[in-house]
Amino acid sequence: MSAADSTVERVVIIGSGPAGWTAAIYAARANLNPLCIVGVPRSDPAPVLPGGQLMLTTEVENYPGFPHGVTGPELMQHFRAQAERFGTRIADEDVVSCDFASRPFALKTSEGRTVHTHSVIIATGATANWLGVPNELRLAQSGGGVSACAVCDGALPVYRGKVLAVVGGGDTAMEEATYLTKFASKVVVIHRRESLRASKAMQQRFMSQPNAEVMWNTRVASVLGDERITGLELEDTVTGARSTMDVGGLFVAIGHSPATGFLKGAGIELDDAGYVSLRTRSSATNIAGVFAAGDVADAHYRQAITAAGMGCQAALECERWLGAQGIH
C-alpha cells in the first residue's frame, strides 16, 4: 500500500508525555505528518492526564534549559506547542486495542473509530503506584510534600534539612532513600513487614548512612497536613496500634504500572513487570514497524530527559524503517 493512500497514516504516536511529544516533533520535522493520540483524563484509581506524570508535578528543576525551574504542566505545554508548530495532528482519545497481525496496522480508539497506520510509536508511559490513603494524592497533586520520585523532587529546597519518610521495601525504595540522605536531616523507611525485599547490598548502602532509620511492621494510615504535609498517621501491622510522626516529606516507592493494557493480545513482547521489551540498543519492539519510548519501556531511569531522548530515538528509527519500506 503506498504512502499516497491518505486513509493510512505513516506514523501514529500513542501517548503524550516527554517521549510522545519528542517523537512527534522529530517525526513532524521529517515530514511524516504524524498523528498523536494523546489519551483522555482518568481519575481511577489515581489521576492520569494527557502529558504524563509531569502533569501532576509542580516544580521541575532538573530539565535542561530551564535554569530557574519550570512546572510540569508548563513544560508539557511547551513540548505540545513545539510539536503542533511543525504540523503534528492531535486526537483527544485513547487507543483501546491494536491489531499488529496485518498491515497496515489497525488501532481502535475510545471514540469507536479505527485508525490504519504503517508504523506506531508507543509512548504511553507508566503511572506511580500510590498507597491509597487519605490526603495522599491531594498533597501530591498540589506540591504539598508528597512525591513518587525522590530523584525528581528530593533535592528541592523545601525538603532539605527535614525528616523525610520513604514507603517501600524493594531496591527502588532503598535507592531513593539513600539518595535522600544527602539532603534530609533523617530518612525513615516505613515498611509493613519485618524484612525488606531489597538486595542486601542496597540495604547496607542505606543502613550505613548516619541519618538512616527503618520502621518495621508499620504502614501509613493517612497523610497529615493542609497546604503541606506535617506528619503521618501510622499503624502497627502486628498490633494495630496507631501513632503519629512528624515529617517534612513523604516519598512513595512501591513501584510503577506501565500503561500497556491496550496491547493485550497484540503480540507485543512485554517483560515480567509488563513493560514493553525493546531490541538491544534500539527502540524497536519484536514487531517490525512498532517502536516504543519512555517509561512504558524504561523501568530504570524514569526521567523526563531520558524519556525525551528515547522519543527522539524512536522517531529517527521509525523514519528510517519507513524509508526502507519505500514509504515517504
**Cβ pair 307, 324 in contact under 8 A:** no
Number of helical H runs and strand E runs in the chain: 7, 19
Residues 160 and 320: their CA atoms lie apart, in Å, by: 47
Residues 120 and 318: their CA atoms lie apart, in Å, by: 8
Residues 239 and 233: their CA atoms lie apart, in Å, by: 15
Residues 18 and 326: their CA atoms lie apart, in Å, by: 29
| Nearest alpha-carbon partner for 125 in 18, 237, 279, 251 | 18
Annotation says 153 is catalytic: yes
Of 36, 94, 98, 152, the catalytic one is 152
Of 36, 94, 153, 318, the catalytic one is 153
Annotation says 152 is catalytic: yes
Of 99, 149, 236, 312, the catalytic one is 149
**Three cell numbers at 231?**
506528619
Annotation says 5 is catalytic: no
Active site members: 149, 152-153
